[in-house]
Amino acid sequence: MREHLQHFIGGQWAASEGGLRHEVINPATEEPCTAITLGTAADVDRAVAAARQAFDTFSRTRPEERLALLDRIIDGYKARMDDIAAAISEEMGAPIGFALAAQAPLGLAQLKSSRRALEGFRWEEEVRGGLVLHEAIGVVGLITPWNWPINQIAAKVGPCIAAGNTMILKPSEECPSCAVVLAEIMAEAGVPAGVFNLIQGDGPGAGAAIAAHPSIDMVSFTGSTRGGIAVAEAAAPTVKRVHQELGGKAPNLILPDADIDSHLPDLLQGILGNSGQTCIAPTRLLVQRGQKAAVEALTSAVFAATPVDSPEKEGRHIGPVVNRAQFDRIQALIRSAIEEGATLLQGGPGMPDNVNRGYYVRPTVFGDVTPDMRIFREETFGPVATITPYDSLEEGIALANDTDYGLSAAVTGDPELAKTVVRRLRAGVVGINGYAPPADAPFGGYGKSGNGREAGVWGLRDFMEVKTIVCA
C-alpha cells in the first residue's frame, strides 16, 4: 500500500499538524490501496505563508524564465507518465489502458496548452490615454476532483506557473497519488520553494480552510455544484476571486434525419468512457420521434456490448465507479427512473454478473424519459444514457436547454443544419458530431456549471489581474 503521509510545503515534505490518517479504497477490490494524512487549517496556514513569501520574487520572473520552467516540468511529466497512470488506475478505477491513453496524457496536454498560451501572451495593451497590464493575481488555492484528477490539476497548475502565481493544491482524497508524483516533478524541475505547495485533505477540512483563508487571493475549484456553492460561501467574506467548473447534464440533440449509424457511436463512447464519470458526457439523447426506435436499438446494442472488468486488465472495457457513495447514488437514480415510468432498455440496477465485489455499474439505457424525472435533471456520473423523443426541432432545442446546467452540449447530424442550432444552445462547449473541446479552447460553463474558463489564453487570463495605467 502506498503511504503519502506528508504534505509538500515550501519545497520540503513536512508532517501534518494534527491531521488524521485516511485510507483510499481501491474501487475494484474494496480494499485500502493508499494512505494519506488529511490536512488541517494549520497545515494550510503554513502552505499559504510559504506561497506568500515566494510570490514577490516569482511574480517578477520574466516570461522567458517561466517558459523554461514549464519546459522542464513537461519533460519531467513525460518521464513519469506510467507512474501517474498507475496511481489513477488503482485509486479511481480507470482501466490501465485508458489511464495510459487518456487520463495521464490529458494532464500533459494541459501543461502544453499553458506553455503555448504564455509564449504568445500580450502582457501590455495600449488604449487611448492609457496602458492595460496583465499581472499575476497572487496566491491561488486549487481544489480538484477525482474523476480526471491529473487533467484538472494541470489545468490549474499550468496557468498559475505561466502567470507568475504561487499556489496551494488540494487534490481529491479519493485519488491523491498523482498529485504526489506531480510534486516530485515540480521539485526536480527546479520550481522555486513555496511556488507549488501540496496539502492532502478533504473538503470540510483543508478545502474549507483554503476557501476561507484571508491571505489567498483566488480559489479555483472543480467539482460538484454543491461543493462549488460551499466554496463560494466560504470565500465570500474575504472577497477573493472564485473560479469554478462544476456539474453538467449534457444533452445530445440528434437532428431530424441524422445518420445515426455514422455519427452516434462515437458520442455514445463519451457516455461510457471513464465509466461515465465525465462532466461533459452527452448523456441526454434527444431524438425526433420518427428515429426513436433506431436510436434506442443502436444505443442498447452499444451499451450491451461494453464489457465491465478489472482496471488491472488490458482491453476496451470500463472499470468501477470511484467509491461506494457514487455507486449508491447511481443505483438510486436508476431505481428512480424505473419507478417514475422510464422504459429500461439495457442494464439496470445491481452489479454486472461477472463481478462479485467492487463498485461496478451495469451500462444502462432508458427510453421514454421525460423532463419531470430525476434522471433527466440530475447528474448521474455513471455509464447511464437516457433517451427522450421530440416532435419538432424547436421542441428538441427547448429540451436541450431545459437544465440548470450549461457545461456542454452535442449536436448530432447534418453539420450545416447543426450550425443553425449551436448558437441557440446554452452551454459553454457545443460539439457538432463530437463533444470534447480542443486543448487550447476555453473550457467552462453556463448556469450552475460554474464561472470562469480553463485552457489556452482564456485560462491564463482567468488566473491574472488587469491593471490600468492612466497616462496624463
pLDDT digits 0-9 by tens, 53-73: 999 999 999 999 999 999 999
The verdict on 81 and 132 lying in the same domain is yes
**Alpha carbon distance 239, 399 (integer Å):** 36
In terms of domains, do 260 and 232 share one? Answer: no
- Structural domains counted in the chain: 2
Nearest to 406 by CA among 374, 437, 448: 448
Q: Are residues 198 and 278 in the same domain?
A: no
Cell 522555486, residue located: 192
Same domain for 271 and 368, yes or no, is yes
364-367 sheet: strands from edge to edge: 343-346, 364-367, 384-390, 284-288, 251-254, 408-412, 429-432
- The reply to whether 145 and 17 lie within a common domain is yes
**Whether 214 and 265 share a structural domain:** no
Look up residue 86 and give its three cell numbers. 498507475
Neighbour tally for 141: CB within 10 Å: 32
The CATH number assigned to the domain holding 294 equals 3.40.309.10
Same domain for 267 and 199, yes or no, is no
Residue 153 has pLDDT above 90, yes or no: yes
Instruction: Verify that 50 and 36 share a domain, yes or no.
Output: yes
The per-residue pLDDT for range 197-248, each reduced to its tens digit, is 999 999 999 999 999 999 999 999 999 999 999 999 999 999 999 999 999 9
Residue 186: per-residue pLDDT:
98
Range of the domain at 434: 251-445
Alpha carbons 316 and 305: distance in angstroms, whole number: 10
- Asked if residue 472 has pLDDT above 80, the reply is no
pTM value > 0.85: yes
Closest CA relative to residue 141, chosen from 39, 63, 21, 67? 39
Buried b (16+ CB within 10 A) or exposed e, 334-347: beebeeeebebbbb
> Both ends of the chain: CA-CA distance in Å?
65
Give me the CATH number covering residue 84.
Answer: 3.40.605.10
Return the active site residues.
245, 279
* Residues 464, 432 within the same domain: no
Handedness of CA 197, 198, 201, 204 (dihedral sign): positive
Grid cell of 203 as nine digits: 473538503
- Give CA–CA dist 353/190, Å, rounded: 50
Cα-only R_g, the chain = 22
| Whether residue 58 is found in the same domain as residue 161 | yes
The SS3 of residue 112 is helix
Binned at pLDDT 50, 70 and 90, residue 436 comes out as: confident
Whether 57 and 105 map to the same domain: the answer is yes
Please check whether residues 185 and 260 belong to one and the same domain. Answer: no
CA distances to 316, 355, 469 from 133, rounded to whole Å, are 49, 58, 8
pLDDT per position as a tens digit, 317-361: 999 999 999 999 999 999 999 999 999 999 999 999 999 999 999
